[in-house]
Amino acid sequence: MFIEFFLILKTTGLPVSLREFLTLLEALAKEALPYRVESFYYLSRTILVKHEQYLDRFDQIFGAYFKGIEEIDDALFLNIPEEWLRQNAERMFSEEEKAMIEAMGGLDKLMERLRELLDEQEGRHEGGNKWVGTGGTSPFGAFGYNPEGIRIGGESRQRRAVKIWEKREFKNLDDKVELNTRNMKMALKRLRILTREGRPEEIDVNGSIRRTSENGGMLELEMVPSRRNNVKVLLLLDVGGSMDDHIETCSQLFSAAKYEFKHLEYFYFHNCVYEQLWKDNMRRRSESVSTYEVLRTFNRDYKVIFVGDAAMSPYELTYPGGSVEYRNEEAGMVWLQRIKDRFPDMVWLNPLPVDYWEYYESLSLIQRFMDYRMFPLSLGGLAAAMKALKNRKLAFKQG
Amino acid sequence: MKFRSTDNYIATEDLTIAVNAAVALEKPLLVKGEPGTGKTMLAFEVAQSLNKEIITWHIKSTTTAQQGLYEYDAVSRLRDSQLGEEKVHEIANYIKKGKLWEAFESKKRLVLLIDEIDKADIEFPNDLLLELDKMEFYCYELQKTIKAKQRPIVIITSNNEKELPDAFLRRCFFHYIRFPDEKTMQAIVDVHFPKLDEKLFKNAMKVFYELRDIRGIKKKPSTSELLDWLKLLVVGKVGPAKLADLDLKEDLPPYIGALLKNEQDYDMLNRLRYGFRR
């Protein structure tokens, strides 16, 4: 009877398998549970959910399903923080527009209307004067007659927007790509730091023979700890915007890195690192981690690899509030410096061809900041970057 | 017989259901949660309330799955052979049984606690898949299969230092111990300090939750820290009034060492006191 429920869990991306479903049925048959939906909820949760990151999703689906609603609220729907709009309202609207807003009943009314519209609207929309979309006269949306209106969705034409509010659905970098990653894996292998550490648990054959013969033929053993790759890597990936052109390369890198480094941690950011990072692009607004948290969690042994094109508006680096997404209290550079202070071994991989580098002001800024340890995301660049992570004196020479 | 809250352990409803389901279906139960929320305690309480013996296997970074099964001491056998010892002819003399073997051998059903599984090598859980699933393993040296006489109740704890492999998770039931809400916390404290002054408790809780709410605390104090602290407050005869108007921006609470366990957190608190707010 719960097959439908199970299928919905499966289609909404909760990793459940038939085995767990059968276990649940078995549990229901065996366990005399009180007839309460809570008990069923707890039981199914303990059997079907295997990781705390899925608890929330499970709760949502469970709630929706057992209310008799079969449509699950799109987890990607974002509520726009009112605070942000208010902060920016002053700056973003001209006097005329402000008057218009007043005419429509003030900002509160407008916000309400916006929510209604987002709720009502399904799919993408262009033109017209009601829906939130592109090219219309509605005060919401991109490229509208309200030139500096609130941008919701849509791609910036110059790819260097100074302010966007986008309901982004960044594509997660897929780490299952296996094609063409072998070369990258080989390049990444240069970062192996093999150490003999810990308990001696392997017999050192040569040493044992030597000692046994010294001992007049009586057995005498020599033990050594086994060799392990102890390198720890923290991968910080830029996603969205101009990085969309490089998704394939980045996915390959990510896939190779996941395979090669056992101690690999990764986080995403957009354009520049600020106080929040996230692990899942689909749920970045609900499940981000504070950058402070990341700085504290990982110790100095971690080698940091940035992956990004470093092409952004220079304000994003140098001014508080320069982020294209929200009001950041501190400039991007401040955050980069914090990361630099924490992790002495750091390189930047840039998917842009080296010839283009000089055309971006922000890129030069970051290059200087990184002490020229920015490498192109090519096989050669990758190998050089891995070398640089082992030798702090190495830098990338252009041309 | 079912597991439920005991005289000294408060189990929430979801936890009892998870434990009882794991017991009934003979599946390992994986327990996660913030440090100090009673994950390890749980195994002992389950053993006690179901009246079972408990075998604990504490995992360290160097622990291998094989050690849980058995270890063959080839070196001492070699040495004995040189010394002409009699026991060298029997290989079983050199097999050291591990915790899993011990648990499998028991005639009565018992509780097996595999504590902090995430401390071990990343492959460790994968090496135990068959053993936990079928509750049997093969001993090559003796050429025989060791099979559990009674499937033990397996409780596994993890602190999330490493991700566990999917194949392993599939074989387990999972429960995440949430940090207790105030009502549950009250029940827990009641169990440990039945005669606690109500005012003192209220004020202490206020300070405790304020401390937990400070942004950027590395190791948030949790249940076990709270219990230690309350004990110190009682022993040190700290009156409720002393905690009543305590403002974390002004003063450190008494016996703060019981709550905060690392110096960065002191730093954070000091910064708060001297007004260097981030």
* ipTM metric: 0.76
DSSP B64: -
Listed by number, the residues of chain A in 33-72 with a beta carbon closer than 8 Å to a beta carbon of chain B are: 33, 38-39, 42-43, 45-47, 49-52, 55
Cross-chain residue pair B21–A38, CB shorter than 8 Å: no
CA dist list (Å): B66 to A24, A29, B71: 31, 36, 7
- The pTM of this model reads 0.57
Q: Is B32's pLDDT higher than 70?
A: yes
Percent of chain B with pLDDT over 90: 24
Cross-chain residue pair A30–B169, CB shorter than 8 Å: no
pLDDT tens digit sequence for B55-80 = 999 998 788 899 999 999 888 888 88
Pairing of strands B29-33, A223-224: unpaired
Read off the pLDDT band of B138 (50, 70, 90): very high
For chain B, percent helix, then strand, then coil, each to nearest 5?
Answer: 45, 15, 40
pLDDT tens digit sequence for A2-57 = 788 888 888 877 888 888 888 888 888 876 666 667 778 888 888 888 877 677 77
Cross-chain residue pair B24–A27, CB shorter than 8 Å: yes
Q: How far is CA B82 from the centre of its chain?
A: 45
Q: Is A88's pLDDT higher than 90?
A: no
Cross-chain residue pair B24–A31, CB shorter than 8 Å: yes
Cross-chain residue pair A15–B166, CB shorter than 8 Å: yes
Best CA proximity match to B14, nearest among B137, B128, B178, B132:
B178
Of A51, A201, A262, the CB nearest to B122: A262
Angle at A75 between CA A72 and CA A81, to 5 degrees: 130
* pLDDT mean over B246-270: 77
Q: Which of A121-125, A216-220, A379-383 has the lowest mean pLDDT?
A: A121-125
Q: Is A255's pLDDT higher than 80?
A: no
Residues in chain B within 8 Å Cβ distance of A39: 13, 17
* DSSP 3-state of A78: coil
- Give the gap in angstroms from C-alpha A98 to the nearest C-alpha of chain B: 34
The answer to whether residues A282 and A76 touch, using CB atoms and an 8 Å cutoff, is: yes
* pLDDT mean over B109-119: 91
Of B62, B172, B264, the CB nearest to A199: B62
* pLDDT mean over B193-209: 84
* pLDDT attached to residue A140: 46
Pairing of strands A263-269, A232-238: parallel
Q: Is A184's pLDDT higher than 80?
A: no
* pLDDT attached to residue A75: 38
**CB atoms near residue B247 (< 10 Å):** 9
Q: Is A222's pLDDT higher than 90?
A: no
Of B13, B29, B30, the CB nearest to A42: B13
Q: What is the CA radius of gyration of chain B?
A: 24
Q: How far is CA A359 from the centre of its chain?
A: 27
* pLDDT attached to residue A399: 58
The answer to whether residues A246 and A347 touch, using CB atoms and an 8 Å cutoff, is: no
CA dist list (Å): A377 to A168, A273, A279, A383, A388: 25, 19, 22, 10, 14
- For chain B, the average pLDDT equals 85
Q: Which of A70-74, A280-284, A384-388 has the lowest mean pLDDT?
A: A70-74
> Which range, A59-73, A126-140, A377-391, B257-271, has the best average confidence (pLDDT)?
A377-391
- Give the gap in angstroms from C-alpha B173 to the nearest C-alpha of chain A: 5
How far apart are the C-alpha atoms of B98 and A115, rounded to whole Å?
61
Q: Is B208's pLDDT higher than 80?
A: yes
